[in-house]
Amino acid sequence: MSSDRIDPEFRALPLAALADAALSRARELGAEHADLRVERIVSQSVDLRDGSVTGVADEATVGLAVRVIVDGVWGFASHVELTPARAAHTAERAVAVARTLAPVAVERVERAAEPVHADAVWVSAYAVDPFTVPTKAKVELLTEWSQRLLAADGVDHTHVGVAQVRENKFYADLAGTSTIQQRVRVHPQFTATAVDRAAGGFETMRSLAAPAGRGWEYLTGDGFDWDAELAVVPELLAEKTKVPSVEAGAYDLVIDPTNLWLTIHESVGHATEYDRAIGYEAAYAGTSFATPDQLGTLRYGSEHMHVTGDRTVPHGLATIGFDDDGVATTEWDLVRDGVLVGYQLDRTFAPRLGLDRSNGCAFADSPHHVPIQRMANVSLQPDPARDTSTEELIAGVERGIYVVGDKSWSIDMQRYNFQFTGQRFYRIEDGRLAGQLRDVAYQATTTDFWGSLDAVGGASTWQLQGAMNCGKAQPGQIAAVSHGCPAARFRGVRVLNTQEEGH
């Protein structure tokens, strides 16, 4: 891939000189492994409330990081100054950290092998770098969206905004791998609010657009139909304020990808992170019920459940060419035919499972953080036999609910007991949609829920959704991740009335 698209300010940095200085010094001091990362991460957010700009925030993080292994022990150090002298000194500090930790290290680091990737270049799939678009033009587009929503009957307030990130990363190690990468992601969103002043309540309706590994073209219609969404949301919101509250009970559910992605993230994505499964990591999201002693035997769900980890899918938020261990990324199975068959790994954890290679899940969100094992794009695969439509899934339900869009969620620290709500809910009666419902939440254990999966939609129903802000570790790190899935049907799931539960 050509390096022409790499940000020229990043290309102009003395990357080769920094690598030579840091790696040479680490080798001189006895490191058996050393790697250097140089990163420049720029971000911008633009927010409007009721058509008025409430904030435009720009941020940039630049720095270098050196990791070493000395006598089987990790050492790490970083700095903001990008000079060869500082890179060499940072390597010295990293080696000193490793030697300081050696007396208390309980085990020695073993890493899976990886081929050398020399002078590799990778750029994510986008057309228009959002940082080349003037801020004025961004505000004008978001103002237009706000005005269109506010002009509709029943919309009292709006929140419209976009967040964008461009991440540049250079990696080099003693084995000879050197990579330079650039990825761009954007998250446009809007919410309309209707206020019931007589009752003192309100209802909201949010766009179903996902954050994506795309550029500014996403906001002008490449990948999402904003005109259609802006037209329909006020109508749906007005209807939602008048519809009946759900009657709690057991229902068949047809769940749209705009909602199901979050259930995948929480109940499968976090649960199949290997460091959680062995209890090594417990911050933010806890550990996992899906422990390695059950690999190959745990009945995670029905035979229709095929979930992959993937760091290569176009426009995925966790998509990258090479991870922060210098590993070329790939796709692999996590759950196949309903059985747990794999985990998300980095080079340190792969040998513990007897694997020859990592599947490329090392990532640090800053040059000043140590790479840790982070989530891939974890996705439920569509029906491989036929292109089953969402309408066909609904047609197979006598009494149920169609769930669209994500909202709040709750899951325990073992990724096992959960409850999820959504943006929009529709009654299903005798195989047809019969108007909206509200106050819906579905509740289950992970294995019962996925065990009730009796059909998945085809490829035409498959969508990439996701989040820009998945948190993990202490000190905390944030990562962006996508989850692809088709529409899917689940039988006999417990549904709660959130208003009744709240009293």
56 and 94 assigned to the same domain = yes
| Whether 215 and 352 share a structural domain | no
Report pLDDT digits (tens) over 225-277. 999 999 999 999 999 999 999 999 999 999 999 999 999 999 999 999 999 99
Asked whether the beta carbons of 397 and 428 are under 8 A apart, the reply is: yes
pLDDT for position 9: 94
CA dihedral 91, 95, 97, 98 (to 10 degrees): 140
Does 230 lie in the same domain as 146? yes
pLDDT of residue 373: 97
What range does the domain containing 361 cover? Answer: 249-501
The residue from 217, 240, 263 where one domain ends is: 240
* Residue 426 CB-density burial (10 A; 0-12 exposed, 13-18 middle, 19+ buried): buried
* Domain boundary pick from 240, 270, 291: 240
In a domain? residue 53: yes
Please indicate, yes or no, if residue 3 is contained in any of the structural domains: no
Do both 229 and 311 map to the same domain? Answer: no
What is the pLDDT, as a whole number, of residue 318?
98
Q: Supply the pTM of this predicted model.
A: 0.97
DSSP secondary structure letters along 323-360: -TTSPBP-EEEEEETTEE---B--TTTGGGGT-SS--S
CA angle 167, 173, 175 (to 5 degrees): 140
Please, what is the average pLDDT of the chain?
96
Share of the chain above pLDDT 90, in %: 95
**3-state DSSP assignment of residue 271:** coil
Q: Are 31 and 189 in contact (CB under 8 A)?
A: no
* Residue 199, pLDDT above cutoff 80: no
pLDDT at 1 over 80: no
- Cα(156)–Cα(151) distance, integer angstroms: 9
Question: Residue 466 CA to chain centroid, in angstroms?
Answer: 5
* One domain for residues 262 and 151: no
**Which CATH number is 23's domain given?**
3.30.2290.10
User: Which residues are within 8 A (CB) of 454 and not within 5 positions of it... i.e. 6 or more apart?
Assistant: 302, 304, 489, 490, 491
Q: Which of 240, 257, 272 is the last residue of a domain?
A: 240
Q: Which two tokens stand for residue 223?
A: 């990948």
Does 374 reside within a domain? yes
Of 284, 241, 272, 196, nearest in space to 470 by CA: 284
Residue 502: its pLDDT value, please? 67
Q: Tally the domains of the chain.
A: 2
Question: Are 363 and 227 in a shared domain?
Answer: no
Question: Are residue 223 and residue 270 in the same domain, yes or no?
Answer: no
Read off the DSSP letter of residue 252.
E
Domain presence at residue 1: no
Residue listed under structure tokens 């009657």 = 247
DSSP 113-173: -----TTEEEE-S-SS-GGGS-HHHHHHHHHHHHHHHHTSTT--EEEEEEEEEEEEEEEEE
Burial of 54 (0-12, 13-18, 19+ CB in 10 A): exposed
Unique residue bearing structure tokens 């690598």:
19
What is the model's pLDDT at position 500? 85
Furthest CA-CA distance within the chain: 75
Say what the pLDDT of residue 201 is: 84
Question: Which of 144-148, 291-295, 321-325, 472-476 comes out lowest in average pLDDT?
Answer: 472-476
Pair (461, 401) in one structural domain:
yes
Residue 187 domain-assigned? yes
Q: Do 299 and 326 fall within a single domain?
A: yes
Measure the CA–CA gap between 324 and 479, rounded to whole angstroms.
13
Q: What is the dihedral angle through the alpha carbons of 116, 365, 209, 460, rounded to the nearest 10 degrees?
A: 30
In a domain, 406, yes or no: yes
- Residue 198: pLDDT band (50, 70, 90) is confident
- pLDDT tens digits, residue range 115-153? 999 999 999 999 999 999 999 999 999 999 999 999 999
- Find, among 92, 110, 87, the residue nearest to 31 by Cα: 92
What proportion of the chain, given as a percentage, has pLDDT over 70?
99
H/E element holding 373? strand 372-373
Q: What is the pLDDT of residue 14?
A: 98
Give 209's Cβ-side CA count (13 Å radius).
Answer: 28
Q: Strands 463-472, 432-437: parallel, antiparallel or unpaired by DSSP? A: unpaired
Asked, for residue 2, whether it belongs to a domain, the answer is: no
Q: Are residues 256 and 163 in the same domain?
A: no
Residues 235 and 263 in one domain: no
Which whole-number Å values give the CA distances from 217 to 138, 171, 253, 258, in the listed order? 12, 29, 34, 21
Give me the pLDDT at residue 183, please.
98
Half-sphere exposure of 131 (CA within 13 A, CB side): 20
Residue written as token pair 């692999």: 332
Residue 358: closest CA among 373, 370, 371, 369: 373
Mean pLDDT of 311-321: 98
SS3 label, residue 469: strand
Kindly indicate the confidence band of residue 284, based on its pLDDT and cuts at 50, 70 and 90.
Answer: confident
Q: What is the pLDDT of residue 103?
A: 95
Residue with the bigger pLDDT between 358 and 196: it is 358
* Same-domain status, 194 and 302: no
